[in-house]
Chain A
Amino acid sequence: MSDLMKVSSNPHVRSRVTTSNIMLAVVIALLPAAGFGIYNFGLDALILILITVASCVLTELIYEKAMKKKVTIGDFSAVVTGLLLALNLPSTAPWWIGVIGGVFAILVVKMLFGGLGQNFMNPALGARCFLLISYTSIMCNFECDAYTGATPLASLKAGESVNLLDMVIGRTGGTIGETSMIAIVLGACLLILLGIIDLRIPGSYIVTFVLFLILFGGHGFDPAFITAHLAGGGLMLGAFFMATDYVTRPVTKRGQYLYGVVLGLLTGIFRIFGPSAEGVSYAIILGNLLVPLIEKITMPKAFGKGGERA
């Protein structure tokens, strides 16, 4: 017993959940959507996904090597970013779009602000919006072998009729990962079951958006119209996988409800009154910017000061 024991402050035990476990679970949860995207859009989609993920991971690796920082690609967060970004690209986008997007997401939005946990905006969405503004025609080109014509959401905006069943299953044009409501919800269920995300944000987001549609959508309570809006565009992917991004959503419980409401309102405004059919990406990055404010006004009450019944 001459060796001294290790000491540390309490507690002396730790749960087995780690950052990389969580990120890996998110990657797995995104696979149904990615898989459907590949099935729907073909090999182009697979190649674009691989290129985007690789550029994200490599950007993080090279940046950290160059800056002599600890290499953190093992936490899989760059993979999540790459995958999310790829799922938000049209399958017709050229390979360099994936590269530029990946580099922008990781280098500008994430690493320059301090790396994992420090970015104020979702890297994948930041990059998508950057690409949308810079390469609008490429990013909005949904004409591929399988689908021609406008996305269902654009048709809806133009007042044309849409096939609801195709929209829910995902047999429509759009970005690689956004089309299939079923695949996205399947992945989201996995994350909910694992306790990685909960329904606070997606729930309040979707409910608010639906209420907004009923009030201002011009169709009143029209289930078909509402379903089309829910299944169309990036709403499902955004609500379950990007609005719930830990780093860029409020950490307080009440703040999460409020954040969901804000996102629902913004999405509604953008989709109904905006010039474009889609609005989820902009709604979420705008919401990201409001997070510090939302957290500040929703700090919980402590136990014994009214917070015990939370």
Chain B
Amino acid sequence: MAKLTFTGGIHPYDGKDLSKDKPIKDVLPKGDLVYPLSQHIGAPAQPIVKKGDKVLTGQKIAEAGGFVSAPIYATVSGTVKAIEPRRVVTGDNVMSIVIENDGKYEEVEWQEPIELETLSREEKIDRIKEAGIVGMGGAGFPTAVKLSPKEPDKIEYVIVNCAECEPYLTSDYRKMLEEPEKLIGGLKVSLSLFENARGILAVEDNKPDCIAKLKRLTRDENKITVKALKTKYPQGSERQLIYAATGRAIHSGMLPADAGCVVNNVDTVIAIYDAVINGKPLMYRIVTVTGDAIADPCNFRVRIGTNYHELVEEAGGFKQPPVKIISGGPMMGFGIFDLDVPATKTSSALLCLTKDEVSAMEPSACINCGKCVEVCPGRVVPRKLADYAEHYEEEAFVKNNGMECCECGCCSYVCPAKRPLTQVIKSMRKMQLAKKKK
């Protein structure tokens, strides 16, 4: 049974008013485009072009490097300038294809749109795989893999994550308002893969206009329901979303498919539609450029590979000098030290703030207030886990459900002592995951 919410969570300042009424605007890149070969979870893509090659918009430039991987497509026409390590939002240097934009935007020849009914299940999955679609909510898990669970018959719910609980982000909101037909079309494509599944559009109730619109458009769809979830961060976290929408709870060791669910985010579902029906690969994504340092906050349709500098320029530049720049939202995004990085398949926002709340507040001693325990959606005890992590008590960390943390950041947000709880827990989790792999 649907709960429409979950236990824990927080209500941070949402900042969505800055950009929510700005229609999606196309951005034409001017400079070089950079395509990191790892924009997804899994094996890096393998380049199939070399330095000096001419490429067209929509041409495949890198092949999937394994089963869990995804191909990459050129989003402009031009010349391959280099294949070399380039810095990405996480601060790592990742092998990337660099394309010099010729400014002509010459496109490959597109296929004709096709009727859904004429395609078999394998053909549909193949189109999604070939299009290079990955989870665009942030995780970047290859969508074709997600849509191929071991027992497709057992999938009962295909959920579209329309929560957009992360503060400041309005890209999903704009997509729902501007392209709801495609969204519903994409959901129908996904539903056609799972015989016994019903579709759920799970929207937070701070977007009543989207809910009304989607409800109207799905009035005659008996397999699709729109669910208004209570507004609370992190409602869009996969496990919390499944719980809110279906009442089923899974732990970190389980997949959504174990609860009979498949979850995709708005942008991903629209990309599925474009790939299966229109035969188009993943080339664009919506990026919200916002924050109190930005002159004119906007929602942009960005060609993947576009430099962040250009997005800031498009948004009117800085009206005040930024102190902190975040790729993604303020709760789970990456702080970046320099704008010279490309937008990738998982870049949801570029947030430029004039204040850094983290460095402005010095961490002090834990007073055991228990606020982290109250808000933790994973229902663990962050205060204890952070202690174990700081003292490298790995066994105690794992035993007390350290691996159940979803790194949502609620504990650090509420901590009155301003301790970096999420950070230390996250580091320990990474260590444990790396150990497991060995």
CA gap between A75 and B364 in the complex, in Å: 10
A6: which of B324, B331, B339, B379 is its contact (CB, 8 Å)? B324
Pair B379/A12 contact, Cβ less than 8 Å: no
With A15-B413, A304-B404 as contacts: A7 and B364 at CB distance below 8 Å: no
**0/1 per residue, B1-17, Cβ < 8 Å to A?**
00000110010110000
The interface residues of chain B lying within 8 Å CB-to-CB of A13 are: 12-13, 167, 330-331, 357, 413
Residues of A whose CB lies within 8 Å of any CB of B are 1, 4-15, 17-19, 21-22, 72, 75, 77, 115-118, 246-249, 251-253, 295, 299-305, 307-310
What is the bound-complex CA distance between A303 and B244, given in angstroms? 12
Q: For A14, give its contact among B400, B401, B413 (CB under 8 Å).
A: B413
Best-buried of A5, A75, A115 by chain B (most CB within 10 Å): A5
Question: Could you write out 21 A-B pairs with CB less than 8 Å apart?
Answer: A5-B335, A5-B337, A7-B335, A7-B337, A8-B420, A9-B420, A11-B412, A12-B357, A15-B10, A18-B416, A18-B417, A18-B418, A72-B365, A75-B364, A117-B367, A117-B417, A246-B370, A303-B243, A303-B377, A304-B251, A308-B249
Contacting pair A251 B381 (CB below 8 A): yes
3 pairs of A and B residues whose beta carbons are closest in the complex = A304-B251, A11-B409, A307-B379
Chain B residues whose C-beta falls within 8 Å of the C-beta of A14 in the assembled complex = 357-358, 361, 412-413, 415, 418
Tell me which residues across on chain B come within 8 A of A307, comparing CB atoms.
Answer: 379
A4-B337, A308-B379 are contacts. A117–B324 as well, Cβ < 8 Å?
Answer: no
Pick the contact of A308 from B243, B252, B325, B409 — CB < 8 Å? B243
A22 to B364, CA, bound (A): 14
Cβ-defined contact, A253 with B373, below 8 A: yes
1/0 contact string of B298-333 vs chain A (CB within 8 Å): 000000000001000000000000111110001111
**Inside 8 A of A17's CB, which chain B residues have their CB?**
371, 414, 416
The answer, yes or no, to whether B384 is at the interface (CB within 8 Å) is: yes
Closest residue of chain A to B13 (Cβ to Cβ) is A13
Interchain CB contact (< 8 A) of A5 among B250, B325, B373, B383:
B325
On whether the beta carbons of A302 and B413 are closer than 8 Å, the reply is no
- Secondary structure dominating the interface of B: loop
Q: Is the CB of A305 within 8 A of B404?
A: yes
**Bound: A301/B13 CA distance, A:** 30
B338 at the A interface (CB under 8 A): yes
Inside 8 A of B322's CB, which chain A residues have their CB? Answer: 5
List chain A residues, Cβ under 8 A from B371: 17
Q: Which residues of A contact B364 (CB under 8 A)?
A: 19, 72, 75, 116
The answer to whether B28 has its CB under 8 Å from any CB of chain A is no
- Across-interface contacts of A251 in B (CB, < 8 A): 368, 370, 373, 381, 383-384
- B393-438 with Cβ < 8 A to chain A: 400-401, 404, 407, 409-410, 412-418, 420, 422-423, 426
Contact B337 A252 (CB under 8 A): no
CB atoms of B379 and A302 under 8 A apart: yes
How far is A17 from B331 in the complex, measured between Cα atoms in Å?
17
- In the assembly, what is the distance between CA of A7 and CA of B325, in Å? 8
Cβ contact within 8 Å between A303 and B413: no
Contacts A75-B364, A305-B404, A308-B379 given: A7-B336 contact, CB under 8 Å? Answer: yes
A117 touches B361 (CB 8 A): no
Residues from chain A with Cβ under 8 Å of B420 in the complex: 8-9
Q: Is the CB of A115 within 8 A of B365?
A: yes
Say whether, besides A19-B417, A299-B381, A300-B380, A12 and B326 are in contact (CB < 8 Å).
Answer: yes
Per-residue CB contact flags for chain B residues 264-289 toward chain A (1 = under 8 Å, else 0) read: 00000000000000000000000000
Q: With an 8 A cutoff between CB atoms, is B103 at the interface?
A: no
Is B365 a contact partner of A116 (Cβ separation < 8 A)?
yes
B353 within 8 A of A: yes
For A304, the chain B residues whose CB sits under 8 A away are 239, 249-252, 254, 404
Extra inter-chain contacts (19) besides given A10-B330, A22-B416, CB under 8 Å: A1-B338, A1-B339, A5-B323, A5-B338, A6-B356, A6-B358, A7-B91, A8-B420, A8-B423, A10-B422, A11-B331, A11-B422, A117-B366, A249-B368, A251-B373, A303-B377, A304-B250, A307-B379, A308-B7
* Choice from A22, A252, A295, A308 contacting B369 with Cβ under 8 Å: A22
CB pair B359–A6 under 8 Å, yes or no, is yes
B358 touches A12 (CB 8 A): yes
C-alpha gap A305/B418 in the complex (Å):
29
Contacts of A118 in B (CB 8 A): 365
Q: Is B78 in contact with chain A by the CB < 8 A criterion?
A: no
Bound complex: CA A282 to CA B259 (Å):
50
Docked-complex contact A10 and B379, CB < 8 angstroms: no
A303–B379 CB distance below 8 A: yes
Contacting pair B367 A19 (CB below 8 A): yes
Q: Does the CB pair B379–A8 fall under 8 Å?
A: no
Q: Which residues of A contact B12 (CB under 8 A)?
A: 13, 15
